Amino acid sequence: MVLDGKRILLVIAGGIAAYKCLELIRRLRERGAFVRCVMTRAAAEFVTPLSVAALSEDKVYGDLFSLTDEHEMGHIRLSREADLVVVAPATAHILARMAGGLADDLATTLLLATDKRVLVAPAMNVRMWEHAATAANVATLAARGILFVGPREGPMACGEFGPGRMAEPADILAAIEGTLADDGALAGLRALVTSGPTVEPIDPVRFIANRSSGRQGHAIAAALARRGAATTLVTGPTALADPPGVTVVRVETAREMLAAALAALPASVAVCSAAVADWRPAEAAAQKLKKNDAGKAPRIALAENPDILATLAGAGNRRPALVVGFAAETENVVENATAKRARKGCDWILANDVSPATGTFGGAVNTIHWITASGVEAWPRMSKEAVAERLAERIAAALAAKGGRP
Ligand code: C5P
């Protein structure tokens, strides 16, 4: 049911497991999916484009420089007109090219150009899979949100035994169905996410801010939007690109962020991941403060900023059904975060250790304790994109249980 009418773009790379793709294509077609295939030059050494074309009931694409193909269907359109991109088998070579951002044939060019989710099924010799270079490439790709199915452990065509066998077509099919089912899990609902730092002016040229990159909040907005939620991202200044399919509202100060967040209601879920400045200069000087006589540094009086998370959690009948906050702590992470959950009146807190040694602030990875009314769950150290995916899954499940409406 999930696959009916869905468009799968299948990239077949050159590995012995390419023959299993024929079975995968057949099963996808049986379930009503449209399958468009792109083969690397090496893939055509393992399975014939003719078999792939016959089973997919479509033309097979292979050459970036074919003027006819580019005319009929440019590589950008090819990558965008899919609901999901699947790479199977994914060889060590194509994983390396993906990780490096190379675009030297049609397959890698569309993988670089796509704005869709990408699921890869690695297949290679066990030593190649375990090589530090492949491990680093896989980690890079996973951190970017690329999804993996397999590899499995077992006897290999090369005679060795271990992890590296491509997942069976049935497993790849299940992973595709799971990913696509997930995609619509928040359809029809509205989500609000705050992200980034706030910037509080001292005078027209100076400000108080913090080191938040916005990476976690932007990834959460992207993950919610991908699941079909109409998502508003209220963000302080960051260097990040707007996540696809998200309404982005740019603000500078905490007070602007609060106003924009309230304006985005009603929403079924609000996730406050912004690093809001706790204080702002009580009065921003209208003109640039001048250096006075030596030794006379100005004193800046501070005023407390509004708490956006607590305001949303206490918004009465406008309160989102699910209000989620973060707690950046440097010590007693779980205890402090548990107390914060109660104090702010939110449903969940994602607690993370931001002591400098962890590299969390501004970095790519996060270690989360997920704190709810029913207890604490420790998540393994993972990329901020992976945290966003897991959180979005939990949000979808919780809203489904609540009926989802604010
Ligand atoms: O109190 P503390 O800053 O540690 O709380 C962190 C959580 O509260 C985060 O979810 C953050 O986005 C939110 N917050 C807020 N407005 C503030 C301060 C924090 O929304 N003024």
| Cα distance between residue 122 and residue 99, in whole Å | 13
For the CA of 344, the nearest atom of ligand 1: 8
Coil/strand/helix, residue 36: strand
What is the mean predicted confidence (pLDDT) over 159-187?
A: 88
189 Cβ contact list (under 8 Å, min separation 6)? 228, 229, 230, 267, 268, 269, 399, 404
Task: Look up tokens 């057949």; give the residue.
Answer: 26
Q: Closest residue (by CA) to atom 2 of ligand 1?
A: 327
Q: How confident is the model at residue 48 (pLDDT cuts 50, 70, 90)?
A: very high
Q: How far is CA 256 from the centre of its chain?
A: 26
Residue 273 alpha carbon, nearest atom of ligand 1: 12
pLDDT at 406: 42
Q: How confident is the model at residue 69 (pLDDT cuts 50, 70, 90)?
A: low
**HSE-CB for 53 with a 13 A CA cutoff:** 8
* CA of 276 relative to ligand 1 center, distance in Å: 6
> Lowest mean pLDDT: which of 69-78, 277-286, 330-339, 362-371?
69-78
Measured in Å, residue 129 CA sits from the centre of ligand 1 at: 42
Atom of ligand 1 nearest to the CA of 278: 21
Cα–ligand 1 centroid distance for 185 (angstroms): 27
Alpha-carbon dihedral 372, 196, 364, 378, rounded to 10 degrees? -10
Known catalytic membership, residue 37: no
In this prediction, residue 157 carries a pLDDT of 74
pLDDT tens-digit map of 366-390: 889 999 999 999 998 887 888 898 9
Of residues 54 and 357, more confidence is placed in 54
Q: How far apart are CA 35 and CA 111, in angstroms?
A: 16
pLDDT(74) > 80 = no
pLDDT digits (tens, 9 = 90+) for 355-367: 777 766 666 778 8
Q: Could you say which of 21, 37, 158, 272 is catalytic?
A: 158
**Is 399 a residue whose pLDDT tops 70?**
yes
Q: Does the pLDDT of residue 67 top 70, yes or no?
A: no
- pLDDT above 90 (res 243): no
Q: What is the DSSP string of 330-350?
A: SSSHHHHHHHHHHHHT-SEEE
First to last CA, the chain: 29
b/e 339-349 (16+ beta carbons within 10 angstroms → b)? ebbeebbbbbb
Q: What domains sit in the chain, N to C, each tagged with a CATH number?
A: 7-180 (3.40.50.1950), 190-402 (3.40.50.10300)
- Give the Cα separation of 312 and 270 in Å (integer): 8
Percent of the chain with pLDDT over 70: 95
Ligand 1 closest atom vs CA 325: 10
Average pLDDT, the chain: 91
User: What's the CA gap between 149 and 36, in Å, rounded?
Assistant: 20
Residue 405 pLDDT grade (very low, low, confident, very high; cuts 50, 70, 90): very low
From 259, 353, 369, select the one nearest 306 (Cα to Cα): 259
Q: Among residues 233, 259, 263, 215, which one has the least CA distance to residue 360?
A: 215
Confidence of residue 199 (pLDDT cuts 50, 70, 90): very high
Residues 6+ apart with CB under 8 A from 402: 321, 322
Q: How confident is the model at residue 68 (pLDDT cuts 50, 70, 90)?
A: low
Confidence of residue 87 (pLDDT cuts 50, 70, 90): very high
Q: Point out the ligand 1 atom lying closest to the alpha carbon of residue 308.
A: 20
Residues with CB under 6 A from ligand 1: 194, 254, 272-274, 276, 305, 307-309, 325-327, 340
Q: Phi/psi zone of residue 368: left (φ > 0), alpha (ψ -120 to 50 degrees), beta?
A: beta
Task: Select the more confidently predicted residue: 63 or 58.
Answer: 58
- What is the spatial distance between Cα 192 and Cα 188, in angstroms, rounded to a whole number? 14
Q: Which residues of 263-297 are buried (b: 16+ CB within 10 A; e: fewer)?
A: ebbebbbbbbbbbbbeebbeeebeeeeeeeeeeee
What is the pLDDT averaged over residues 47-76?
82
Confidence of residue 392 (pLDDT cuts 50, 70, 90): very high
- pLDDT attached to residue 127: 93
What is the SS3 assignment for 161? strand
Q: How much distance in Å is there from the Cα of 107 to the middle of ligand 1?
A: 43
246 alpha carbon – ligand 1 mean position (Å) = 22
Question: pLDDT tens digits for 313-370?
Answer: 999 999 999 999 999 888 899 999 999 999 999 999 999 888 777 766 666 778 899 9
Residue 65 pLDDT: 63
- H or E segment and range at residue 368: strand 368-372
Q: How far is the CA of 305 from the centre of ligand 1 (A)?
A: 10
The confidence score (pLDDT) of residue 71 equals: 61
